[in-house]
A and B are shown apart, each in its own frame.
Chain A
Amino acid sequence: MSRSAAAAETVPVPRAGRLTATSPTILLGRVLGNAFLVLGVFLTAMPFVYMITASFKPGGELYSIPFSIWPKSLYLGNYELLFGQTSFVRWFANSVFVSLTRTVLAIFLALMAGYAFAKFDFRFKNVLFLLVLGTLTLPIYVLIVPLYDMMIQLDWIDSYWSLIIPFGAQAIGVFLARQHLLSIPNELLEAARIDGAGEWSIFQRIILPLATPVVAVMAILFFTASWRDYIWPLIVLTDDAKFTVSLGLPSLIGPYRQEYGAVMAGSFLSTVPIVAVFLVMQRRFIEGIMAGAVKG
């Protein structure tokens, strides 16, 4: 069974009595489909290309006539500025630390809660779920001042705690996890219970592995949301040494001087390691999913 499932991922299944694997319709579909996807990739990539080439241009060249994507020559001043006059490496390390920790925490909490909402019936379930959804609907700017006040009282100003803990509970994650775990057959869980498995063991050995796709998405979502976070870290952090990349780079754009090239350089550089990790992890996830995410 798994063999054909694996095969189904990559090779079109011959449909009995209809289309064959090499029919012109399929080929046309392939061409058009790929064209569509490639166009999407191109449109997505263009601004990035622009950003990367901008990082090799001196400030004046960014806005110049005649227009040119490519830099006149490889200008390294922006990178020198970035490494020589800012705490860029420190910012990057801070970002990684904060984002990773927050992500791991958020995934666990969201999975557990999502599981409960998906697979259990309990009193207040609907009310609580609506509450979860409800918290998503208030814009951060409404909550920022009282939340800031709390951070001061806890003495968490200028500390990573204020970046990690309050946002460890990600309602969107609970919602996402619930939707996913809904499709796990109840019989699976019942059988395990009858077998004598404890609830935590069920969670660990049945739910977790089956939740791999949603964990992957949550990881991306939480990590990138934390990476990008701007206004909250700005409100609670004062020490430059604790700034994240997303906080530090915009500070290169001030009322008297705008170092766009350096911002682009920093943004480009900070995505490179993340992308590398993403590619490596993707392999793993894909292998995992490919090999056996088949439910019986």
Chain B
Amino acid sequence: MQAESTLAGVRPARPRHLARTFTPYLFILPFFTIQAVFLLYPVVSALFLSFYQATGVGARKFIGLGNYVSLVQDPRYLHALLNTTEYALGSILILSPLALLIALAVRSFIVPSDNARSLYRLAYFMPQLTSFVVIALMFALVFDKDYGLLNNSLAGFGLPKIGWLRETSLAMPSVIMVSIWTFVGINSLYFLAGLQNIPHEINEAAAIDGAGRLQGFWYVTLPMLRPTLLFVIIQATIFSYQVFDLPYLLTGGGPSDASLTVVIYLYQAGFQQFKLGYAAAIGYSLGIISIVLSLIQLRVFRRWSEV
């Protein structure tokens, strides 16, 4: 590249310096315009609503932080928060590592050909294409106690028929299972894309230097995967806390609130009991929790990269 030769020389003053100052703003402008236009009003409106007791049509009474105070004392909310955290942990500690493992495996020597690679990618992409309603339908059929695929297969091994979605102790784990099935594919794709950014030569170089496969992974690949890892973990956290469709469709939040998540509770409070102010407060509480967790994760990752 001839460009390098001029680096050492005098740099002519160019108007591009100014252009460069404006450039980032221009690049983010389209995105933020849409966000500002379409999200600003709802977000602010919801925030205001959370300070009101707004039950049913018409009545609005300003109560300041009243909703939030009720929230932290509301046993159903706290129970939902616990369930949701359980779900989020499943997502971060099981789903994400599994996705990474799959991505590594697919990309590695294990897979002999690109056709096989394509096939794996396809297989993991399929659940992403299916709407939650259909996924819930499929798994309701799979998990059905008497007529389902799972129990009837297990029965072949002599195991008893279990009410996966009907026992309070099994409801949440079953939902987590379905969620893993649904989301492992797209998460592997995230990791695959991230791995594609890491040139093979680096791993070769490490290997030539005498590093074993595991060391190569730990000291070379993983650090270079840091940006992708950060992304996967943070989005897993944020979206896990907002989980609604799968548990709602599979169990309705039950039995007896065993799989009640915060957003299910929000939906019930807002759209079934018409307590819209309270629902807004629940939503914002979730936002606060997610942001705090994300900030913590950002900080942890920053520390890690400095090591």
Q: Residues on A close to B: CB < 8 A?
A: 1, 5, 8-13, 15-18, 26, 29-30, 33-34, 36-37, 40-41, 43-48, 50-51, 54, 62-65, 67, 69, 108-110, 112-113, 115-117, 120-122, 125, 128, 130, 132-139, 141-147, 150, 165-166, 168-169, 171-172, 174-176, 179-180, 182-183, 191-195, 198-199, 203, 213-214, 216-217, 220-221, 224, 227-228, 230, 245-246, 249-250, 253, 260, 263-264, 267, 271, 274-275, 278-279, 282-283, 286, 289-290, 293-295
Q: Report Cα–Cα, A65/B2, bound state, in Å.
A: 76
- B282 / chain A contacts, CB cutoff of 8 Å: 142
Do the beta carbons of A267 and B131 come within 8 Å of each other?
yes
Do the beta carbons of A283 and B118 come within 8 Å of each other?
yes
Do the beta carbons of A230 and B149 come within 8 Å of each other?
no
The stretch of B16-24, B64-72, B86-94 in contact with A is B16-24
- With A40-B102, A217-B190, A230-B132 already in contact, the answer to whether A142 and B284 are too (CB < 8 A) is yes
Do the beta carbons of A141 and B31 come within 8 Å of each other?
no
**Further contacts, 4 of them, CB under 8 A, given A13-B207, A137-B242, A142-B266:** A41-B120, A194-B3, A227-B129, A246-B131
Other-chain contact of A34, B111, B129, B199 (Cβ < 8 Å):
B111
Q: Report Cα–Cα, A45/B39, bound state, in Å.
A: 38
Do the beta carbons of A128 and B32 come within 8 Å of each other?
yes
Other-chain contact of B242, A46, A64, A139, A169 (Cβ < 8 Å):
A139
The total number of A-B Cβ pairs within 8 Å is 323
Other-chain contact of B244, A121, A125, A139 (Cβ < 8 Å):
A139
- With A112-B27, A137-B286, A246-B131 already in contact, the answer to whether A169 and B193 are too (CB < 8 A) is no
- B194 / chain A contacts, CB cutoff of 8 Å: 179-180
Q: Residues on B close to A: CB < 8 A?
A: 1-4, 6-7, 11, 16, 19-21, 23-25, 27-28, 30-35, 38-39, 41-43, 45-46, 101-102, 105-106, 108-114, 117-135, 137-139, 141-142, 144, 146-149, 152, 181, 184-186, 189-190, 192-194, 196-197, 199-201, 204, 207-208, 210, 212, 224, 227-228, 230-231, 234-235, 238-239, 241-242, 244-245, 263, 266-267, 270-271, 276, 279-280, 282-284, 286-287, 290-291, 294-295
